[in-house]
Amino acid sequence: FLPIILTGDWPRYIFEGQLLALGLNPLLHSPNDFVGFPNQGVWELVEYKSLSAIYPPVSIIFFALFAKNILSLKLFIFFLEIINSLILIKILKLKRISKRYALIYFASPLVIIELGFSAHLDVISVFYNNLYIFINFLHYIFFYFLFIFTPILLTKLNRNY
């Protein structure tokens, strides 16, 4: 995976995840409260040590799940990105749009930098957004066929009796 060069967020991810894993609430404590933190190397890299966590609780839970190292978080983000890609391709296929348009997303510098380099959690919101679109599209198709074909089917069944 690519080195993290554009942001200083990842030490905060690891630090806050490790705090939560120890049973401490990162929303209530700033890094300055933990000068002798066991993982001193990560603590030294945390920016804005006087501020408590700025991330929402769900993000902090993800940080705790992957608090061992940034590579585990990057692997999780990469896995979600693969799922996002598959959902996007499926949505394009269902809407009868060329799959080539998925390249606009895949080749986007924002996606490459934020996910490949910075390990930002935006991929989670993209995942839920894509899943929502996909499920709503399937829901639309189901009800479309239900309302179109049910009267036709009932009419044919009545003629047979």
Mean pLDDT for the stretch of residues 46-74: 84
Give Cβ neighbours of residue 73 (< 8 Å, ≥ 6 apart): 10, 13, 62, 63, 66, 119
Mean pLDDT for the stretch of residues 11-30: 88
- pLDDT for position 39: 66
pTM of the predicted protein model: 0.64
Q: Check whether 1 has a pLDDT greater than 60.
A: no
- Which tens digit of pLDDT belongs to each residue from 138-157? 888 888 788 888 888 788 77
User: pLDDT higher for 152 or 64?
Assistant: 64
Q: Check whether 3 has a pLDDT greater than 60.
A: no
- pLDDT for position 40: 66
Helices (H), 56-121: 57-65, 70-94, 102-106, 109-111
Mean pLDDT for the stretch of residues 44-56: 86
Give me the helix-helix angle, 70-94 and 9-21, nearest 10°: 110
- Which tens digit of pLDDT belongs to each residue from 87-104? 888 888 888 899 888 888
Nearest to 13 by CA among 2, 39, 1, 132: 39
Band (pLDDT 50/70/90 cuts) for residue 116 is low
